[in-house]
């Protein structure tokens, strides 16, 4: 595969859209993400944000010709403490879990946002349905089903990173409480 005009355009478009190199590579096909990244660099658009081109960028200092009075530092707003506690779907199950540590919450009765719920349903269909012993540091530890049943398994999908769950389950586990708005029912 070579970089035809079309392919390059797709590349540019997607890259500008913020697509990841791997996604672009997948889309184009026949190339790896490395190829994409390499091309991106060669095209000189390694930087995605600035649609503006800044040919001249030299020397530090003197970035501000204007009299920047005071407050040159907007300072980081930083994430507010925003009590976005994970609010684990409270599990009433006695400590049934084996050598559990932080222990996964039960998805059960809780007001979960429809979107997140939908995601979970999705995921559960593709879940690897691994057993307890198969749980590793990087498998989603979201439990599904009743532990007392044979119909019990763990999601097992790749975890987000750090988190104990896969993306979808992280979504339902760590809800910003803003979405917990009590929707009438």
Partner DNA sequence: CCCTGATTCGC
Partner DNA sequence: GCGAATCAGG
Q: What is the binding site for DNA (CB under 7 A)?
A: 1-3, 19-23, 31-35, 37-42, 46, 138, 158, 161
Query: Vertex 90, ends 130 and 86: CA angle to 5°?
Result: 85
In the complex, least distance from residue 42 CB atom to DNA, rounded to whole angstroms: 5
Other CB atoms within 10 A of residue 22 CB: 13
Residue (42 or 180) nearer to DNA, CB: 42
In the complex, least distance from residue 98 CB atom to DNA, rounded to whole angstroms: 22
**Contact in structure between 144 and 124 (CB atoms under 8 Å):** yes
- Per DSSP, helices labelled H in the chain are 5-17, 21-28, 33-42, 114-126, 167-173
CA–CA separation, 165 and 104 (whole Å) = 9
Residue (20 or 131) nearer to DNA, CB: 20
Residue (107 or 141) nearer to DNA, CB: 141
In the complex, least distance from residue 24 CB atom to DNA, rounded to whole angstroms: 8
In the complex, least distance from residue 60 CB atom to DNA, rounded to whole angstroms: 16
Residue (13 or 180) nearer to DNA, CB: 13
CA–CA separation, 85 and 63 (whole Å) = 41
């Amino acid at each position: 595969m070579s970089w035809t005009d079309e392919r390059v355009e797709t590349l540019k478009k997607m890259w500008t859209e913020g697509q990841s190199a791997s996604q672009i590579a997948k889309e184009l096909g026949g190339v790896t993400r490395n190829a994409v990244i390499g091309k991106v660099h060669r095209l000189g658009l390694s930087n995605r944000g600035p649609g503006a081109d800044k040919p001249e960028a030299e020397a530090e200092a003197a970035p501000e010709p204007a009299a920047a009075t005071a407050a040159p530092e907007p300072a980081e707003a930083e994430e507010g403490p925003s009590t976005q506690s994970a609010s684990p779907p409270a599990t009433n199950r006695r400590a049934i879990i084996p050598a559990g540590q932080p222990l996964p919450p039960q998805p059960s009765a809780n007001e979960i946002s429809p979107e997140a719920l939908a995601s979970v349903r999705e995921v559960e269909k593709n879940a690897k349905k691994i057993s307890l012993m198969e749980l590793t540091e990087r498998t989603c530890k979201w439990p599904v089903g009743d532990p007392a049943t044979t119909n019990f398994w763990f999601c097992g999908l790749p975890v987000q990173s750090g988190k104990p769950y896969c993306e979808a389950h992280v979504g339902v586990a760590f809800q910003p409480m803003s979405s917990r708005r009590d929707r009438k029912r």
